[in-house]
Structure 1
């Protein structure tokens, strides 16, 4: 079905010019040429392909930057929350840990006990997060370029990063628990 050009709602004509020199140096010549062919046809919005590409990628670039910022913020908040939960658990068990140390437990065994407890929370979160990421990966497909949403290397990398961050978050309260003075811990209520 052929329609007259005058009936088209958008009547823009786009002309692409390939040049070996500076692209914007040709703009006046292109305007003159179009004016010679059709003197009532205005030539507006002369741009280089790189500026057009930058403009078209601005929104996805901003979205990626914002997602990255919020991902780092979520990682910091998660690390802080996990440290708080493990520290609270240690503070509730000061007496128990003091008794263990007074009865001859090595500080390394107290350290591993607290780390095991914290890392069980991290492992549960990683399992649920990985399952959720695999289940909802189709939502991210449009934002990824050159990477599949279920790319094993990316998933393993993220799991290792989050697991390592969780281990560091658990390590601080665990070290504090391992350094507990049994005499002070036994006197606390």
Structure 2
């Protein structure tokens, strides 16, 4: 008798559960899996293992000789499909969010054309006007990220507790997506601001 360490039996469930191991002769089963640890390529030992089993019982059927990695991939096929679909929808959501951010920021900058005209008529340099617009726009975008990131982290932790292999604090995700949204906001600020600064200040003063 002895005590074994925790074993993950299911790729969908990482929580350990009580398991009792008994000798095969005391609890015969119709199907049996044999796991063998190797130091090299496991498939190179497949013929030797098959021959060893045949030497004990020549009529013993043997099928599905495969590596543990292959077995895990086969078991996680459904989960992999769901993960791929979630990834596709996530990319689409990111694109829609970037388009939405671009539209909102572009509209907000366009609404400030009159103010841009006043600043330029009073002699403000173009770079100064552009800095003001960038500061306002990025503060607005940053406020949105400050609200959205904690919510995203909460749902990421929830997803990590339900699906094996999901990292709740994935650095690439929590830095790449905010960077993409901030880039969309910066482009949305720069394009209409540059267009507005090219307008004659007198025309910009009449803009409503």
Q: TM-score, normalised by structure 1?
A: 0.68
- Spell out, residue by residue over 1:22-41, the C-alpha distance to the aligned partner (whole angstroms, 9 max, x if none): 54454344334434433443
**Aligned position for 2:50:** 31
Deviation at 1:15, TM superposition (A): 1.9
Distance 2:173 2:62 in 1: 50
**Aligned position for 2:98:** 79
SS of 2:123's equivalent?
coil
**Aligned position for 2:12:** none
**1:1-189 correspondence runs (5 A):** 5=27, 11-18=30-37, 23-56=42-75, 65-142=84-161, 149-150=168-169, 157=175, 161-162=179-180, 164-165=182-183, 166-186=185-205, 188=207
Q: Which runs of 5+ in 1 are unaligned?
A: none
- Structure with the higher fraction of residues in helix conformation: 1
Q: Which 4+ stretches in 1 moved above 6 angstroms?
A: 153-156
Change (3 A) 1:175 1:67: farther
**Native 8 Å contact 1:95 1:188 kept in 2:** yes
Deviation at 1:43, TM superposition (A): 0.7
Change (3 A) 1:164 1:57: same
Q: Which runs of 5+ in 2 are unaligned?
A: 1-19
- Spell out, residue by residue over 1:28-71, the C-alpha distance to the aligned partner (whole angstroms, 9 max, x if none): 44334434433443111111334334435655555555555444
Change (3 A) 1:139 1:18: closer
Change (3 A) 1:76 1:137: closer
Change (3 A) 1:134 1:90: closer
Change (3 A) 1:72 1:180: farther
